[in-house]
Chain A
C-alpha cells in the first residue's frame, strides 16, 4: 500500500480537490462529530432560519456515536456509523460549507451531486475498528445538544486518524472501483 496522505484540518477546498478515490489518509486536527439526532436538529434549526451552533466551513464531520469514556480517557470506542442515514440532511450541510465527511457505506446520488458541486470529500473509516480509532482521539468536547448523549454535536481533536477516500470531489467512487477487479459474479 502507498504511504498515507497527511491531512491537517481545516480541510480547504484546494486540498479536498486534490484527494482521489482510493487514497489512504491520516487526519490530524479538529473534526466535528454528529449523527442522526444532531443532524435532524441542525436541519430544523436551518429551516427556522436560525444559525447552527458551530460554523461548518471547511470542517470534516465524523458520523460517530462513541461508547462512554472510561475515567482518564477522552473517549470510549469510536468507530464510524452508517453514513447513508445522514443522506437526507447532507446536501443542506454541504451548503453550510461542510468540506468532508467520515463514515461507512454508500451515499445517495443527491449527496454525491452536492459533493461534486461544492468540492467535498467522503472518507470511510474502518467500521468496527472502534478501539483502534479511539486511540487517535486526544480530546472530546461536547459543543451542543448534550442531552443526546452519544449523539451530541462534539469536537474531536485527532492525531493520525486513519481513513480512506471513498468518494472524491469528482464523484469517483472507490466502493465501485475497488470491487470491480474482484467481482466474478453478477447478480
Chain B
C-alpha cells in the first residue's frame, strides 16, 4: 500500500491543465511539419505553417494554443494498492482544474446545467473523470482538454453484425465528411468499436489519448487505422476544410468484445491540437 495525498493531486492537475493548453504535443507537431512538407494545396500549406507558428507562439508566451481550452477530460489509472489520503479524489481533481484554469488564464467554458440554466461555473469544473482500477501502486492521471468545435461533430451508431468492416468504415467516413471544417482539420479521429453504447463512446475518447505515432497493437486494427487514414484523405477536406491532402493527422481505433447481436461504433473527433498532459504520482 502506498499513500498519495490529495494536495499533491491538486497541484499536479493544476500544472497539467496549463501545460496541456500551452504546449502542443511533440507527436502532433512532428505530424504537422510532415504534412506541411507534403501538402499540395498552397493555401493548405500556408494554413499548416500558421498552425505550427501558432504552437510556437503559445509555447513561448505561455498562452493557450486555442481559445477554447476545453472541458477537462481525465482518464485515471488508479493502482489498487494506492491509498488516497486527505480528502476526496474527485474533489482534488476538480480543485486542480479550478486552480489551473484560473491561474493559467484559461477560458472557463463549463455551463452549470445543460438545458435550462446554462450558467458558467466560472472555474471550468466539473471535469469529466474516468477511473480505471489497475494492478500496482501507481496513480497515473491523464488529461485531454476537449474543445467543443470538434466534440460537437462526434457521433455514435449502433450497427448490426452484418454491417461488418464496410459498415464501420462508411459510418466513420460519413461522420468525418459531415464534420467538415468545424473541428479545425487536420483532425485526429478517435474510434471505439464494440462493447455497449457507452463503452464504445468511452473507447473513442480513450483512442484520442493515445499518441498518434502509436498504432493499435492488433495488426488487423492497425491495418484498419491505416486504411481509414487513406480514405479520409481522399475526402479532400484539407486543412480547415478549404481543400487539400491533409484532412487528418491520425485515426486511432480502440476495440472491445461485444454482444452477439451488436456492433456499436463511436467516432470522437478532435482538432489539430488534440492536447494532452499526464503525470504519474
| Interface residue from A66, A128, A164 paired with B273 (Cβ < 8 Å) | A128
Asked whether A129 lies within 8 Å of B54 as measured between CB atoms, the reply is: yes
A162 CB contacts on chain B under 8 angstroms: 50
Query: Can you sample 6 A-B contacts with CB below 8 Å?
Result: A65-B67, A65-B109, A128-B54, A162-B50, A182-B245, A184-B236
Contact with A along B243-260 (1 / 0, CB 8 A): 111000000000000000
Identify which of A68, A84, A174 contacts B242 (C-beta below 8 A). Answer: A174
Question: By the criterion CB–CB under 8 Å, are A81 and B47 in contact?
Answer: no
Complex CA–CA separation, A77 to B61 (angstroms) = 11
Q: Which residue of A lies closest to B236 (CB)?
A: A182
Max chain B Cβ within 10 angstroms of own Cβ: one of A70, A132, A177, A180 = A132
Chain B residues engaging chain A, CB cutoff 8 angstroms: 41-43, 46-47, 50-51, 53-54, 57-58, 61, 63-69, 105-109, 120, 149, 152, 170, 173-174, 177, 180-184, 231, 234-238, 240-245, 271-273
From 137 to 162 in chain A, residues with beta carbon under 8 angstroms from any chain B beta carbon are 149-150, 162
18 other contacts beyond A68-B105, A166-B242, with CB at 8 A cut-off? A64-B67, A67-B64, A67-B69, A68-B107, A77-B58, A77-B63, A77-B66, A104-B149, A106-B181, A126-B47, A127-B271, A130-B54, A131-B61, A131-B65, A150-B108, A178-B241, A179-B238, A185-B173
Q: A104-147: contact bitstring with B at CB < 8 Å (1 yes, 0 no)?
A: 11100000000000000000101111111011000000000000
Cα–Cα, bound, A184→B57 (Å): 35
Contact yes or no, B43 A187, CB < 8 A: no
A187 to B170: give the CA distance in the assembly, Å. Answer: 8
Cβ 8 A contact of B234, one of A79, A132, A134, A184: A184
A140 to chain B, nearest CB (A): 12
What is the CA–CA distance of A129 and B63 in the complex, to the nearest angstrom? Answer: 11
| 8 nearest CB pairs, A to B | A178-B243, A182-B236, A127-B184, A185-B234, A183-B236, A67-B107, A105-B182, A184-B234
Given A131-B57, A175-B181, A187-B177, are A182 and B238 neighbors across the interface (CB < 8 Å)? yes
